[in-house]
Amino acid sequence: MKGSLICVGTGMMLGAHISPICQSHIEHADVVFSLMASAITERWLAEKNNDVRSLQSFYQEGKNRNHSYNEMVNAIIDEVKAGKKVVAAFYGHPGVFACVAHRAIKIAHIEGFNAHMEPGISAESCLYADLSIDPGTYGCAHFEASQFLFYQRQIDTSAYLVLWQVGFTGDRSLTKFNTDKAYKQVLVDLLTTFYPDDHLVILYQAKVLPIETVRADKVPLHELASHKIYQHTTLVIPPTKKMLVNQVILDKLEGLGRKSNQPKLKLV
């Protein structure tokens, strides 16, 4: 029998966010590899299949995370090559901040195996619901926090800015599970070139267990580095400016509207 790979998302909250199709794939797999947010979630997953193998053991303090990811991919692909129906289950969405799934699927395709991804409810989806943010209202830009530091990004302060994995901010070695206050202060210093230092920002963490509460701490930007920031903490920065009207484009569209007898465009 030829092996196959399906990467599935279990959602953020234990047992509550997983889709029927993802659960079915887990239950009917020959082997399930798991990368969950907590030991409780791993135990819950182990009840769904007799052969569930955690990928957490590949992580080690001081070990380059890229090496860990490649070892995870190798473990997954070895079972696919052995002719097994393999499922790799990731908390949240398997394609969001989860390079293992993307790498494994790419290698499986190169090797000639069937492989695809099934989505899950991500931390981003929870963020919009928990913080009552509609990204369609002002727009929303997302960056990984260290990437935001390392590269010159163009920021629109009339839209939301969301920075992920703030706990790792500034780690160029890929060996740390968290960086200290000095690293996070570098991020604050950069952000204050775009935003007032007293601008209220949000430290967000989604619920993983039903008994937990959502973290949505509003703090002044200049105090950010002094607050507890974990691996799974997300920084949300609300807009500080109004959107600027592009009058040149509006005039062009109004001219097109007159030709087709459309009503004049009104902005909210």
Question: What are the phi and psi torsion angles at 205 (to 5°)?
Answer: -140, 125
Instruction: Collapse the DSSP code of 41 into the 3-class scheme (helix H, G, I; strand E, B; otherwise coil) and give the result.
Output: helix
Instruction: Collapse the DSSP code of 39 into the 3-class scheme (helix H, G, I; strand E, B; otherwise coil) and give the result.
Output: helix
Q: Which of 43, 65, 151, 183 is catalytic?
A: 65
- Residue 14's alpha-carbon distances to 51, 122, 220, 257, in angstroms, are 19, 13, 32, 51
Q: Which of 43, 53, 91, 183 is catalytic?
A: 91
- The amino acid at residue 243 is M
> What does the alpha-carbon distance between residue 238 and residue 259 come to, in Å, rounded to a whole number?
39
65 catalytically annotated: yes
Q: Could you tell me which of 235, 243, 237 has the C-alpha nearest to residue 268?
A: 243
Spatial contact of 169 and 145, defined as CB atoms under 8 Å apart = yes
Q: Could you tell me which of 209, 169, 202 has the C-alpha nearest to residue 186?
A: 169
Instruction: Collapse the DSSP code of 237 into the 3-class scheme (helix H, G, I; strand E, B; otherwise coil) and give the result.
Output: strand
Beta strands at 140-144 and 114-118: parallel, antiparallel or unpaired = unpaired
Q: Could you tell me which of 113, 115, 133, 111 has the C-alpha nearest to residue 123?
A: 133
Instruction: Collapse the DSSP code of 230 into the 3-class scheme (helix H, G, I; strand E, B; otherwise coil) and give the result.
Output: coil
> What does the alpha-carbon distance between residue 234 and residue 61 come to, in Å, rounded to a whole number?
22
Instruction: Collapse the DSSP code of 116 into the 3-class scheme (helix H, G, I; strand E, B; otherwise coil) and give the result.
Output: strand
Residues with a catalytic annotation lie at 65, 69, 91
